[in-house]
Amino acid sequence: MSTLTISGLRAAVGGSEILTGVDLEISSGEVHAVMGPNGAGKSTLSHVIMGKPGYEVLGGSVVLDGTDVLSLPTWQRAQAGLFLAMQYPTEVPGVSLVDALSASRADGLGSDDELKASLRVEAERIGFDAKLLDRPLNVDLSGGEKKRNETVQLAVLKPRFAVLDELDSGLDVDALRAVARRVEAATEDDGLGVLVITHYSRLLTELRPDHVHVLAQGRIVASGGPELADQLEAGGYGQYVERSNLDVDATIGASDPFADPFADPLA
């Protein structure tokens, strides 16, 4: 049983504070969905967890079973058991998938031939054309193929926790179902803990979340069960954006947010 604990995480990119205090705790086998409007900081959260250069941590912690991962370089975070499926997977000409995975030196990958065999099994399981496994990493793959490629890597590497940043974007309905089912199976078979970032609840019909959180203005403003995803799909994020705006106003001591903005200030 592993636990990933994010506490009071604050981070800046490009000189602006984007994460303003994120708290989340994920245990093995759990699926936590993070939903939120464009620009809320969802991808920033995924990048800060994994240590992408250019992001400045201003406060708080990310702890994996007692290890402070923020003090580790990205490759050590991966070896500690973290995995990120990127919203926009990077093309790496000249590096094959097999080379990239064997360089990760994760436990249990076996020889290159065994690794190739497990890649083929996993590719078939989610309907990813095995011919594409021989391409340089992500090069000339369509958006949906890149997302399936990320899923194949996740299945073979068997991390302890996976952050899936809009894994559903670019996938057709069949691919979406196959990918979501594969990740759901990993939560059951391998105890994978998942932080799944998405705009849409359709991913969550197959990859069933235990908890759903709303990220707005850089922090979690609401949490609930799977029903929250359906409410968000039906009602949008407006109420949460407003609520956190009000909170921000309150902290800077603004006047009553419900007051008539056209009232005569001297009256």
Q: Tokens 């800077």 belong to which residue?
A: 252
By CB under 5 A, tell whether 43 contacts Mg ion: yes
By CB under 6 A, tell whether 44 contacts ligand ADP: yes
- Name the residue with the smallest CB distance to ligand ADP: 14
Using CB under 5 A as the criterion, what x/- string covers residues 81-100 for binding Mg ion? Answer: ------x-------------
Q: Which is nearer to Mg ion, 17 or 65 (CB)?
A: 17
Contact (Cβ atoms closer than 8 angstroms) between residue 9 and residue 22: yes
Choose the contact partner of 265 out of ligand ADP, Mg ion, none; CB within 5 to 8 A by kind. none
Supply 43's token pair: 């991808």
By CB under 6 A, tell whether 41 contacts ligand ADP: yes
Q: Single out the segment in contact with ligand ADP by CB under 6 A; choices: 12-20, 118-126, 134-142, 239-247.
A: 12-20
By CB under 6 A, tell whether 110 contacts ligand ADP: no
Supply 225's token pair: 């069960």
Q: Which neighbouring-strand residues pair with 4?
A: 26, 64
Alpha carbon 93 to its chain centroid, in Å, reads 25
Q: Single out the segment in contact with ligand ADP by CB under 6 A; choices: 34-42, 97-105, 238-246, 247-255.
A: 34-42
Choose the contact partner of 149 out of ligand ADP, Mg ion, none; CB within 5 to 8 A by kind. none
By CB under 5 A, tell whether 153 contacts Mg ion: no
Q: Are strands 136-137 and 82-85 parallel, antiparallel or unpaired?
A: unpaired
What count of Cα atoms within 13 Å lies in the side-chain half-sphere of residue 1? 3
Q: Which is nearer to ligand ADP, 122 or 168 (CB)?
A: 168
Q: Which is nearer to ligand ADP, 178 or 215 (CB)?
A: 215
Q: Which is nearer to Mg ion, 43 or 187 (CB)?
A: 43
Supply 70's token pair: 């923020």
The strand order across the sheet containing 16-27 reads 16-27, 3-13, 55-64, 67-68
Region for residue 21 given its phi and psi (left: phi exceeds 0; alpha: psi -120 to 50; beta: otherwise): left
Strands (E) across 75-127 are located at: 82-85, 92-96
Q: Single out the segment in contact with ligand ADP by CB under 6 A; choices: 36-44, 64-72, 183-191, 224-232.
A: 36-44
Residues that bind Mg ion (CB under 5 A): 42-43, 87
Residues that bind ligand ADP (CB under 6 A): 13-14, 18, 36, 38-44, 54
